[in-house]
Amino acid sequence: MDGGGSDHGGEHGSRGARCPPSAASKRKARLTCRFTTGTIRIEPDGRHVTLPRLGTIRVHEPARGLLDRVRTGTARILSATVRHERGRWFVSFQTEVKREIHRVARLDTTVGIDLGVKTLAVMADSSGEIREVPNPRHLDNALKLLRRASRVVSRRQGPDRRTGRKPSRRWEKANAARNRVHHRVANLRADALHKLTTAVTAEYGTVVIEDLNVAGMLRNRRLARRIADAGFGEIRRQLVYKSHQRHATRVIVADRWYPSSKTCSGCGAVKAKLPLHIRTYECDACGLVIDRDDNAARNLAALAAAAATGTGVAGDQDTAKVSKPRGADQKTRATRPRRKAGAGRAGGATLPHQRQTETRDRTQTEALTLW
């Protein structure tokens, strides 16, 4: 539903312009519907669900696990959402579950995770062990099939919005075959990321990750496809909610400008520049020679001790978001000076009690919605 506009007050009480309501697009909107009242239950056989206005529907995947929890009283269904995604219809239940916190295998061990394209993740823990998770590259492996399927689609008579032409049956069949390739890639990627994040949160007591600017990294046209295929943002999202809800472990997010690759993990010396094509880190101060990704993972793991004790290579740190040791790499936006209002302009004079403040970058808090 479209809501009306609202008035936004300015810094000194001035009123802004009323925003017109924006119409929702039929083509970009996702087919979804949510039920919060009415009959929402799982049938005793575990293969059928009953929803309001839709009746009893058979599901492809059995829901006996949720049914057993509802029967024993450890779960309560709050709402149900039906959506169309990847060529199939899904129904998801928002439940209130009584879940116990599981202790991790190595509670006193800290791991630093450095994400990359050549290697998906390099994990260095506080005991000195370094692991590498290879990048499966699901999209690259399916590019040959996607090109072939796209050529078949281009030879068919597709839809035309300008003339109102409808697609042919052969085009719809070829487009469905191409979509199945995309859906398989997405499912393989989601399965691999869930297995990785579940294993990490179940083993380590403290996880240190980077605050990567994924949107800015996607502007690199040479690496955009591989960066999008790796799913850096999804890895961080899964690590955060799995660690807090399932294992009660601590997640530390390093500052976006923290030079984890440029800092020597042995002596703490920081290089001025380190190009991306240089894959081996050589310290000019202590002579340490180490892989670039291994060095970054070890620096991230060291931030956990610095955040807890206030000492270490990175200096005093914050447990929620670790700051960088030096501020020479960060680009700051120049603030525009305020224009002084003339005395002869009606309402333009600034009162003495009104405080002038500079325009700064505001931190935006992200809300985490769990379904």
- What tens digit of pLDDT does each residue of 74-121 get? 899 999 999 988 778 999 999 998 877 788 888 888 999 999 998 999
What tens digit of pLDDT does each residue of 109-163 get? 899 999 999 899 999 998 889 999 999 999 999 999 999 999 999 999 999 989 9
Tokens linked to 252:
């530390």
Provide the pLDDT for residue 308. Answer: 56
Amino acid at 88: R
The DSSP bridge pattern shows strands 41-42 and 48-51 to be antiparallel
d(CA 231, CA 214): 9
d(CA 318, CA 322): 5
Instruction: Give the per-residue SS3 of 7-18.
Output: CCECCCCCECCC
Provide the pLDDT for residue 159. Answer: 92
Provide the pLDDT for residue 363. Answer: 36
Provide the pLDDT for residue 234. Answer: 94
d(CA 347, CA 301): 56
d(CA 230, CA 139): 9
Q: What are phi and psi of 115, to 5 degrees?
A: -90, 150
DSSP label at 129? -
Q: Which residues are catalytic?
A: 114, 210, 293
pTM for this model (two decimals):
0.71
Provide the pLDDT for residue 305. Answer: 76
d(CA 281, CA 287): 10
Provide the pLDDT for residue 11. Answer: 39
Provide the pLDDT for residue 313. Answer: 38
DSSP label at 215? H
Contact 82, 61 (CB under 8 A): no
Residue 29 to residues 19, 81, 83, 283: CA-CA distances in angstroms? 21, 15, 11, 52
Which residues are CB-neighbours of 295 under 8 A, at least 6 positions away? 260, 261, 263, 264, 265, 281
Q: What are phi and psi of 287, to 5 degrees?
A: 80, 20
Residue with tokens 């001025």, as numbered in its chain: 272
The DSSP bridge pattern shows strands 250-254 and 321-322 to be parallel
Provide the pLDDT for residue 108. Answer: 87
> Would you list the DSSP string of 217-273?
HTT-TTTHHHHHHHTHHHHHHHHHHHIIIII--EEEEE-TT--TTTB-TTT--B-S-
Strand ranges for the chain from DSSP E: 32-35, 41-42, 48-51, 55-58, 75-85, 88-97, 106-115, 119-125, 130-134, 204-210, 250-254, 280-282, 289-291, 321-322
Tokens linked to 339:
């224009």
- What's the residue count for the chain? 371
Provide the pLDDT for residue 244. Answer: 82
d(CA 352, CA 356): 10
Contact 121, 295 (CB under 8 A): no
Query: Which stretches of the chain drop beneath a pLDDT of 50?
Result: 1-16, 309-335, 340-371
**Could you tell me how far CA 297 lies from the centroid of its own chain?**
20
Q: Report the side by side order of strands in the sheet with 75-85.
A: 32-35, 75-85, 88-97
